[in-house]
Amino acid sequence: MSNDVTIFVCVSCRDGADQDARPGAAFMEALRARLGERSLALSVEPVECLAVCKRPTTIALAGPRKWTYVIGDLDRAAHVDDVIDSALRFGESENGIVAWKERPVCFRKGVVSRTPPLP
Ligand code: FES
């Protein structure tokens, strides 16, 4: 089921302190590396912008017949495993809606929006 999940990662956001840094790109690399370490096959796709540019790192969790969640304020040092766990729970859910108490804290606090699946 979780193979139907795609984690879109904005790789274009700029770091406020270092305009040359791309925290989302670094987050995506760390995410892919960690998925390999955990032998998980979630899809990770870079995107140029999720329109949440002031809250890097920003991702979206998406899958067929599921609500899409956009989540911001993610930190590479703190949240890679939490994003993986969020994506796994998202994949296991029937429609993408993960119970509040089952969401890692970064998922609870960082949600920017959710969008329903196409009918
Ligand atoms: S550049 Fe990352 S959300 Fe816009």
Q: Which domain holds residue 85?
A: 2-115
Centre of ligand 1 from the C-alpha of residue 73, in Å: 12
pLDDT tens readout for residues 21-38: 899 999 999 999 999 999
**Total residues belonging to the chain:** 119
Cα 6 to Cα 2, 36, 51, 58, 91, distances in angstroms: 9, 15, 18, 14, 9
| pLDDT value for 1 | 44
pLDDT tens readout for residues 62-112: 999 999 999 999 998 899 999 999 999 999 999 999 999 999 999 999 999
**Closest atom, ligand 1, to C-alpha of 10:** 2
Phi, psi of 78 (to 5 degrees): -110, -25
What is the CATH number for 79?
3.40.30.10
52 Cβ closer than 6 Å to some ligand 1 atom: yes
Tally of structural domains, the chain: 1
Residue nearest atom 1 of ligand 1, based on CA coordinates: 13
49 Cβ closer than 6 Å to some ligand 1 atom: yes
Cα 19 to Cα 14, 26, 31, distances in angstroms: 6, 14, 22
